[in-house]
Amino acid sequence: MNKHFSFQPEQSVSNFKSFDMTREEKVAQIIVDSSVFQFHKNRLMNEIDLALGEGNRQKFKTLSNEYNALLDQFSHLQ
């Protein structure tokens, strides 16, 4: 049985059907993914706000791209 629990956003499980997981393991994975997503989302939103406050366009663009990539990566939660 493949028990994959991610703690890095790049390790999220986007297709639960591809793993031999029990219902409980799928629920646990969704909870972990949701927590990781919320953590990185809040971090990026705070950093984006700081970049806007500083008037740093390059940092804002970089962080916005990271934020959009995060949304794409965790689209299975929405």
Q: What is the pLDDT of residues 4-56, one digit of tens each?
A: 444 455 555 455 555 688 999 999 999 999 999 999 999 999 999 999 999 99
Flag whether 2 is in a domain.
Answer: no
Q: Does any domain span residue 38? A: yes
Distance CA 49, CA 33 (A): 24
**Is residue 3, in this structure, part of any structural domain at all?**
no
In a domain, 13, yes or no: no
CA dihedral sign, ordered 9, 10, 11, 14: positive
Give the number of domains in the chain: 1
Judge whether 41 lies within some domain.
yes
Residue 14 covered by a domain: no
Q: Is residue 26 part of a domain?
A: yes
Residue range 65-73: mean pLDDT, rounded: 97
Is the residue at 54 inside a domain?
A: yes
Residue 2 has pLDDT above 50, yes or no: no
For 4: left if phi > 0, alpha if psi spans -120 to 50, otherwise beta; the answer is beta
* The amino acid at 25: E
Q: Is the pLDDT of residue 3 over 80?
A: no
pLDDT given for residue 78 in this prediction: 80
